[in-house]
Structure 1
Amino acid sequence: MSKQFTLDDLKRILLEGAGADESVDLDADILDLGLEELGYESLALLETASRIEREYGISLDEVELTHTLTPRELIDAVNTCLTPSAAA
């Protein structure tokens, strides 16, 4: 699959799965903010990962997800899974 996962994709999936904290503006510059700062704790992250996996037909590494702290890191992890391996 050649489609790139974007911040807009992430925001849509976060909102569909976990909603949004009223005090957080997801339209602000959030790429490098911590997911917890945005109101998304571990359960919300697991739901988000599950939705991403189903929608994009990928499998995200659970260990990597536990170290994913920002939207930028999560987007990078998804795009790494979407990029065909050069060794394949």
Structure 2
Amino acid sequence: MTDFTIEDLRARLRECAGDIDGADLDGDTLDTPFVELGYDSLALLQVTAVISRERSIVIDDDAAIEAQTPRMLLKVINSVPRQSD
């Protein structure tokens, strides 16, 4: 399975939580805290639930919430092994 990328994450954030006024997701946001981008923990849980279903993985809710930046969340997502079918 290919790694989940920042582009993938941006798309899911927009789909699930919407575009936040003033947030430039297309800029260099890898190390920008989600709170500065306007996304709260509920938005992150929503996004990770969608990603979990799409990729057939289980993302730990606590790990997702502890991921303060897109870079940290990508690390969490990409470190989860895919479930056997």
Where does residue 54 of structure 1 map in the other structure? 53
Where does residue 31 of structure 1 map in the other structure? 30
State how far apart, in whole Å, the 1-side matches of 2:38 and 2:21 are: 9
Runs of 4+ residues over 6 Å off in structure 1: none
Where does residue 14 of structure 1 map in the other structure? 13
State how far apart, in whole Å, the 2-side matches of 1:14 and 1:82 are: 22
Name structure 2 gaps, 5 residues minimum: none
Alpha-carbon RMSD: 1.5
Bigger relative CO (Cα 8 Å, ≥ 6 apart): 1
Deviations 1:48-76 (A, max 9, x none): 01011011110011221221100000001
Return the structure number with greater helix share.
2
TM-score w.r.t. the length of structure 1 is 0.87
- Report if the CA contact (8 A) 2:45-2:65 is conserved: no
State how far apart, in whole Å, the 1-side matches of 2:56 and 2:16 are: 17
Q: Give the number of aligned pairs.
A: 83
Name structure 1 gaps, 5 residues minimum: 84-88
Determine helix, strand or coil for the equivalent of 2:27.
coil
TM-score w.r.t. the length of structure 2 is 0.90
